Every structure is written in C-alpha cells, then in structure tokens.
Structure 1
Amino acid sequence: MKRVGIVTLHFSINYGAVLQCLALEKTLEKLGYRVKVINYYPRYAKYYWEPQKHICDAIHDVLQKKNSINNNFIYECLRATKYVVQFNCSNADYKKKYRKFKKFTRENLNLTKEYSSIEDLRTADYDALITGSDQVWNSDYTDFKFDSVYFLNFGANSAKRIAYGVSMHLYDNKEDWKNLSLYANRLNAISVREKSVQDRIEATGYFIPCKTVLDPTLLLKKDEWINYESTEIKYEEDFVLVYSLKEKEKCCDLANKIASRMNSRIVDISPISICENSDWVSDCAPADFLYYVHHSKYIVTDSFHGTVFSIIYNKQFVSVAVEKSKDLRIVNLLKSLNLECCISYNFKNLIQIDYDQVNILIEKMKEQSINYIVSALEE
C-alpha cells in the first residue's frame, strides 16, 4: 500500500482550507492509500493564525511585503505594532474559534508531528507527495514569496510529486511565472483548480502539461459531509446564512433583502459581524459551518468554499463576485456548472436552481478528477 503525504494550508482558521484537506485525505484513503497530512506549520503562518501575536513578527511581516520600505517603513511598522496590541486586547472570540478549529483538525485529520521548516522535512519518507489543494502557490499566504515546501522540494528522490488542484494569483510579472516554474521543476504532475490558471500556466511555456480538476471538497458527497457536522447546535427558526470575507456591504445588503422577502432570520458566520440584527456566530468552527450550510434556507457568500458547499448541499444561493476581478475562482466554478445566474452581478430575483443537471456535471468532473489522481500516483 503506497504511503502518501499531503502538504497544504490545513492550519488556517478558514473553513475551506481545513475541509479541502480533509476531503483529499478521505478520497485518497478510499482509493486504498495510506495517507498522512504533513503537519507543516511555519513561523509566518503562526504569526498570521495564532491567537497571541508578537510585535517582532509584525515587523518581519512588514519587511517581507513588497515595496514596504519605499512606502514609509516607519509608518508601516507603527501600524503593524498597533494592530498586534489591539488584536491581543480584543481576541476572546477568536481564541475560542481557534481552539475549536484545532480540536476539529486533531480529531479528523491524520496529522504527523509538527514541522516548521523544509530542513525538518528533508528525510520525509513517502512513496508520493501531494501539494494542494488551496492557495499553496499564492505568495500572499506564504510570507510574500514562494515556499519550497509547497513545491515538494523535500523527501526521497524516488517519491512521486503531484500538485493537485493548486490555486494562486494570476501574476502580472513574467519573472514571477518563471520563478514559480523553477520551484516546480521536480513535480511529476500538475493540476490546478481554475481554468484561468491552467490557461495562464500553459501560455508561459515554462511548465509540464497541466489539467484543471475539482476542488477536493467536491470529491465527497453531501451524505459524507453530514458525518462531520456539529451535533450540538439546534437552530429552530428558518434562516438566511451569510458568510463574507471581502464584499461585506454587498453581502449584508443582499442577505437583508432576501431575509426580508423570506421572512427569515439572518445567521452570520463571517470572521467579523457584518449585519446588524443578525445572529453572529463568533466562534463558528468547521463542524458548525457544515451544520449552518445544511440547515439554511438560503445562502449569501463571497467565499469560494462558501459557494462550493452551497452546491454540495444543493442550496439556493447567490455568490457575490466583483466584475473584472482578478480573483476568478467563483466565476470559473459557476460557469463550469452553468450557474452564472447565481453570480451577484447577474442576480435579479430569487431563482430556483435545478440541481439535477448540476449534479450530473459534478459527477462527471469528479470521475475525471479521481482518474487524474490515480493516474498521477500510479504511472
């Protein structure tokens, strides 16, 4: 039985990051592989996600950001220091949420011991290594530079090295793509999550052939996800669920209009409360997220994985996306499933999604994605 190690952003206090890792692990196990999630937790990630932050890490963060020294370095340092002080003084809700996330990952992911650097991983012993899914090649999440760990530049030379469903910036600079290709030169197979990323990768001419595959969360069915839902929540009223990471005002406005039309409450699971008179769940963990998606009457979100789980659970929803944005994850997904009507700038009325055809398309894409995994591991 082949031993497979996954490296991804599983440590993030983010529903999608944790659940896509869980989905990939479970999919590989169903295919007959022995799977471990490599518990890589670097310094920069700890600064970003830990509930207690340190000023020295904040200054390091400023130094790593492009052009920060040219754009008033002292001001940026002072602003970062202020952020740390304010965060540490007002993070009780986040601490509770953080503990619930860590409990969920401990109980549901097959984690290795913790590693903090690529040097710790040099002798990692696996038959195959997989990087992804999620934004492992997005430098904004990896200390504003590419991290060799997420390009699998460790372990035995004989190990298969596979990128599954990776996501990233559509970098403007040709040098960034060239640099990225140098990091990726040990990979045996590359697949990405968005067709727009595949097109850009292929246009550079720097990479081996690339395919577009499903996000791992779509490889599990609704009935499988229900097993990971919280059993402690009992929300009796009908509610519209809102989950926003960026377009807070637009999401709140749509949620209010839809809730008013449906005569329903609003449950808000965004990192910060975005709607007055809503029920904000400040410590919402992955199991809670799944529960609220399952039991909602309607969903409003600007999150990629908020959109994905709306589809998995066959929910009526609207995804708030910005026209002409460089972040095409949501748009790419909805176009592939003929669900452009659910994009906010196309949204006119409360439509009823017919999921029969959507589910047929997903099953076809799922079969192709699983075939890709098996082929990459076995050839």
Structure 2
Amino acid sequence: MLHSFCFVPFRRGSDLFMMILSSFVSILYTGVNMSDSALKDLNVAQSGELEKNMDNSVKSCITKPVPIGNICLKKEENAPPTCPDAVTNGCEAGNVDVEYTDSENLTDLPDADASLSTLAARLDSKDWVMTCEALNNVRQLAIYHKEILQEHLESLVPLIVKSVKNPRSAVCKTALMTCADIFKAYGDLLVDSIDPLLVQLFLKASQDKRFVCEAAETALISMTSWITPSALLPKMQPYLKNKNPRIRAKASVCFSKSVPHFGVEGIKEYGLDKLVQIAATQLSDQLPESREAARKLALELQVFYEKFQASSSGEVDSTPDVQSDAESWEAFCQSKLSPLSAQAILRVTTTTKEGVAVGVTSTPKEGVTVGC
C-alpha cells in the first residue's frame, strides 16, 4: 500500500514536468519562428531602401551630352559634379564620350589669348578631359594663331610628349593628332625640340592598338612631309641603330620617305655615299619592314644617281644607255661599300630594273591572249 501510494504522486509529478517541458519547447520554437520572420522583414525593408537609394543615385547620374572641343562630356543640369556610385578607382565611369575632330573641321577659338594663358596648366592637368581639351586648343592655335603659339612651343612640346606617353588612349591619340598639326604648321622650327617626340612616335606607330597606331603613322607622315630632309635625317639616323627592332623599322621607313624630298642637288649636298651606306646597312635588318624600306631607298638613290650623271654630262633630255648607267652605278657602289654591302645593293637594284625592262619589252603579239 505504501509503495503504491508513493508511486502515484511520482507519476503525477513526472507528467507535470513533461507538460512544463513541452510548453517551454513550444514557446522557444515560437520565438525562433518569430525571430526568423522579423529578420526576413528587416532584410526586405533594407533591400527596398537600398534599391531606392541606388535608383536615386542612377537618376542623379542620368546625363545629356555637352560638346567641349572634341570631347563630348555628359553632364546633367543642376547635378552634382560627380556621381559617387559611378566612380571606379577615382575616375568617373561611363559619363564621357570622346570624339576626334579632324584638322579641317576645327574652328577658331573665341578668345585665343585667354586660352593660351592657361594652356600649359591645362596640358599638365590630372583631369584627362581637360588635357584633351587643351591639346585641341594647341591644334586650333597652330592653325588659326600660328605666330602667337610659336613663342611658347619650346615649353609646350614636353607637355605634348607627356600626353603622347599617357596610358589613356584618348589622351594619347589626341596628342598624336596635335603632333601632326604642329609639324604642318611649324616644320623646321620644331627640329630643335623633336628629339623627345621621335622615339615616342616610333613606339606608338608600332604598337597593337590600331587607332593609336594610325594616328602615330599620320603624325610621322606629316613630319617627313613638312620638315626638310637636311634637318630631319640627322635626327632620325641614330634610331636606325636602336636596340628595339620596331623603332629601327619605323625609323627606316621614315628615313626612306624623307629622302625623295631632297631633290638631286640636296642629295648631292648631303652625300649620296652616306645614304647608300645607310640603305645597305638596313637591308640586313631582322624585320621585313625595315628591309623593304631600305630596298625602296636603294632604288630612289639609283634613280637620283642616274639623273645626276645625265645632268652632269648634258644628257638630261636624251635617253641614257641602260647598260652604261648600270655599270656606272655598279662602279659607284663598289667604290663606296664593302663587297658584301655592294653586292646586296646591286642585287636589289639590278633585279628590280631587269624586271621592269622585261615587263616593258615583252609586248604580247596581236591576236594572242595573255592571262586567263
């Protein structure tokens, strides 16, 4: 009896304990669910607020284009100067479009003196848009106010070189276009300042970015067209022996393009023997571009030599004897060059000349069909 009496309360106490434990677990589970729900609601609220802020930031960066020289700068009216959410590595992203203006489409500056007074500072600015605008101002001044800009060329050329070296392609190309315009405007006046420009022009003309390469090629063509060979060739000659084969190749091409501007008397004064020696050296260069330029130079020199021989003997208007001219050219090369170099020059010039002669004399007979 005592045992059963004591056991019953124990069972009732155990049931009560289990009920309390079950209630506690239920409350705890309900609290966890409420916490999860509260967190979800909080995350949704924060996400909505973040999206709202981003929408406002994007709207504040919606822009309309405003042309500045050859730079189309997109800027909203009454908007803050920068968009914090659109900045990458300290630079504004996606709010500047660059348009390159050809020289013939450049217009005059409204106030040349005011532009010139701040030109150096703007060329040296860390703001690349301002630098491009300043480079275009240099182009405009070179075209419309040549005399005013001339006094400042010596101090401006290093800043233009700095822009050519700029890693941002827009600045580099605008600077190369500036080089082309100042070469045309000032010609030989730039010879004393051209040394730092040459190596950069040769490098940019041989790089992989096509639009930069084309701008550099245009600048080099302008240089060889507007600077006299007697002033330019001594500046380019050291680059024909540069360690960089691409620089040698571009220098060789420019050298061969500049020589024809000499004329017969100019070549005679400069020294035909020196030019033939340079052509012979470049014929053995490792790059095909350099060898092709040397081949063209050798042919030009042969033509000049034959014209000079004809004029000196009073036979300008008569048809010279091809064989005697070939022998005199051969004798000249052998007297001025080493045997191997003379052989290389004669191989190039004689083969080309014979090919032309064969093409002229082999006239098809009447009634015979040539080709396909």
Q: TM-score, normalised by structure 1?
A: 0.20
- Comparing both chains, which one has the higher relative contact order based on Cα–Cα distances under 8 Å and sequence gaps of 6 or more? 1
Structure with more of its chain in strand, by fraction: 1
When Rg is computed on C-alpha atoms for both structures, the one with the higher figure is 2
